Amino acid sequence: MRRFGPMFRKEFIQMRRDRLTLGIMTAVPVIQLLLFGFAIQTDVRHIPTVVLDESRTPTSRDVIADFQNTGNFRIVAQVDGRDALDEWIARGDAQAGIAIPHTFPRDLARGTTATIQVIVDASDPLSSQAALAAAAGVAQVRNLAILSAAAHSRALPLETRIRPRYNPGLRSANYIVPGLVGVILTITMVLVTAMAIVRERERGTLEQLIVTPITKTELMLGKIAPYVGVGLVQMTTVLLLGRFVFDVPLTGNVLLLYAIAFIFIVASLALGLFVSTLVRTQQQAMQASFFFVLPNILLSGFMFPRQAMPAVFQWIGAFLPLTHFLKVLRGILLKGVGVTELWQEMAILALFATVLIGLSVRRFQKTLD
């Protein structure tokens, strides 16, 4: 491995001189973090809502206030007829409609079931789910109050006490930002190494290099080593911004996180190396990298929970390094867990790194055929 040193130095100088790539590699984490952190909110609130109150009684106004108080509904208009309500939702000016029939106060007084209709624009499942759950909740709270009053009972027979652990505010930033560390590392590390070897091929420098006694392993490791540093800097940037801009906690052992991140970065770089052995031009390298990166974002559990995926896709997800690194990130940052809980993920990531480097070295040919 004595030729690793010169190779590493050369790559490092070249990386330092390539201002554009270096700039992109430092700007990407910042931009992505701000985009994802501010723009992506999975907790849907303030759904624009249109109200049709046919009864116009204090009770009905009370119920409407209940809806508004959940924070999920924002009343944007009061309308006079059912047609007008449908019109609002069809136009997209409102995503939910609450219709209280004129029979509402009478039914309530009589003790028969009084109905309130909640219409939801379900073309966006995420926000409509939040609206549906909130609407059901409003009715339930009302029911309990009415029933317990009727039963002259002061205590509820049953109550579930929910303790949202690790992310008590249920903030999506706490979920997204740690995941973003992994996503950004995957994108930049895979792309940067996939391009690195192909660039030497295109510029004609690979021909001069493979006519020297450098071994394939020395070449590959020397090529990826400087980018390990870049990856660690990117991770630090995202973690610090996450901590101070989005209040994402750093609960666990940060040193352990960096140790595992090191393994993950090597695995991602190795994936990039592998891509570079499959393609001939920088353009192909770029396309192939995106082909590898996209499933990482969709199937790793970064945005969509893996439990909700069909078994096949959960399996595919298990073959992505990011899937395992996400568990580590969230485990350490949010739950504060340690090696005892994470050794499996560490082992899997190390296996990925070793296998991918081995495959790349095998596939790379020191010939021009």
For other proteins, the closer CB: 3 or 243: 3
Measured distance CA(49)–CA(65) in Å, rounded: 12
For other proteins, the closer CB: 216 or 335: 216
For other proteins, the closer CB: 209 or 316: 209
For other proteins, the closer CB: 5 or 229: 5
Tokens in use for 323? Answer: 């899937």
- Rounded to a whole number of angstroms, the minimum distance from the CB of residue 193 to other proteins is 18
Which residues are CB-neighbours of 348 under 8 A, at least 6 positions away? 324
- Rounded to a whole number of angstroms, the minimum distance from the CB of residue 207 to other proteins is 5
3-state secondary structure of 100: strand
284 alpha-carbon distance from chain centroid: 27
Q: Report the amino acid identity of residue 231.
A: G
| Site residues (vs other proteins, CB under 8 A) | 2-3, 5-7, 9-10, 13-14, 17-18, 203-205, 207-215, 366-369
For other proteins, the closer CB: 14 or 236: 14
- Residues constituting the chain: 369
Q: Which of 104, 246, 233, 225 is nearest to 172 (CA)?
A: 246
* Pair 247, 221: CB distance under 8 Å: no
For other proteins, the closer CB: 159 or 369: 369
Which residues are CB-neighbours of 336 under 8 A, at least 6 positions away? 251, 252, 253
- Rounded to a whole number of angstroms, the minimum distance from the CB of residue 212 to other proteins is 5
Q: Are strands 96-100 and 47-53 parallel, antiparallel or unpaired?
A: parallel
Measured distance CA(193)–CA(216) in Å, rounded: 15
- Rounded to a whole number of angstroms, the minimum distance from the CB of residue 368 to other proteins is 5
Q: Report the amino acid identity of residue 181.
A: V
- Rounded to a whole number of angstroms, the minimum distance from the CB of residue 12 to other proteins is 11
- Rounded to a whole number of angstroms, the minimum distance from the CB of residue 9 to other proteins is 7
- Rounded to a whole number of angstroms, the minimum distance from the CB of residue 14 to other proteins is 6
Q: Which of 70, 105, 244 is nearest to 173 (CA)?
A: 244
3-state secondary structure of 244: helix
Distances (CA, A) of 262 to 33, 268, 311, 319: 20, 10, 30, 19
For other proteins, the closer CB: 47 or 219: 219
